[in-house]
Amino acid sequence: MSAPKLQRLVAFVESAANGGFSAAARRLDLTPAAVSKSVQRLEDELGLRLFKRSTRQLRLTPEGERFLAQVAPGLRQLDEAVAEMAQDASLPRGRVRISAPPGFGRRYVLPCLPSLAAQHPQLDIELSLENRKVDLIGDGFDIGVRGGTLEDSGLVARRVARLPLVLVASSTYLRRHGAPPSADALSSHQCIGIRLDGGAEIPWRFRRGDRSHDLRPRGVRLWLSDPEAALDLALAHGGIAQVGLHHAMPGLRSGRLRALLINEHDPGDREIAVHYAHRHHLAPRVRVVVDALVDALAGHDDLQAAPGQLPGAWVAG
């Protein structure tokens, strides 16, 4: 429906409801002449007279009464829809779908949800935990929490923290085998490698002066496809693993793990970010969840840790 036609319908309904063009004009912030002209054009378009006019009175014709009964409910529904959307623009309500990696989601995203649900009872929050690469828009997600080397994907990315990598082994393993004094000594240790489902190996990177180089220790005889499983195997005294420092923090804090070669090992440039599709006119239901996640993640001590700042007791060698 064109805007002029809708304007003529509104002028007709308001004139009928308020008993005249002047009263309708006050409701619509128009002049009586403009309202009268709109109604006249509607009558010309329909080929019907909708009102009986006199100097003192405006009354619907029988055709006008039938037409009013047909169009008034539709205009009322439009008004209600606009009012409801205006309310949605100010109140967080509805479903919000979040995608996050399983380990990170369980440890860092899940704890944020109970308070969000309590503060915003009209929100329905759905968290999907999976390792696959998610097409945020194509898969119907509102928010994605992802770590790695961030690329320009066309999405808004609010960076939360760096995610440095660190080499770790259990205290029990180190008591049995000793700590490697250098990267070259890793060849005599049991090392845990990561080979992703596509076949790509995650390299171990070390610094020499101003340069970094990748190293595949000859001691890698255990291969896993899940990076978080490497941490579990290290905790089970299975060898030396390269893991995200944020995942290793509980084990380091408890003394079950020790960090290795922090002066040689390159922690990389991985980051964690909260992704979403639009910066402008972001729905309140999405905005409150994004803000809560960013605040919680950016304020989490384990996500702000750096290998070079670890207490000496947490570092082997």
Q: What is the pLDDT of residue 245?
A: 95
Q: What is the pLDDT of residue 99?
A: 94
Q: What is the pLDDT of residue 196?
A: 77
Which tokens is 93 given? Answer: 């309500």
Q: What is the pLDDT of residue 112?
A: 93
Contact predicate 173/204, CB 8 Å: no
Q: What is the pLDDT along the chain (317 residues), one digit of tens a residue?
A: 677 788 888 888 888 888 888 888 888 889 989 988 999 998 888 898 998 887 677 888 988 889 888 888 887 887 767 666 665 656 788 899 999 988 889 999 999 999 999 999 999 999 999 877 778 888 889 999 987 765 656 788 899 999 999 999 999 999 999 999 999 899 899 999 988 777 778 889 998 777 778 877 776 888 898 888 999 999 999 999 999 999 999 999 999 999 999 999 999 988 999 998 876 668 888 999 999 999 999 999 999 999 999 999 999 97
Q: Considering only CA atoms, give the Rg of the chain.
A: 33
Which tokens is 229 given? Answer: 């499983």
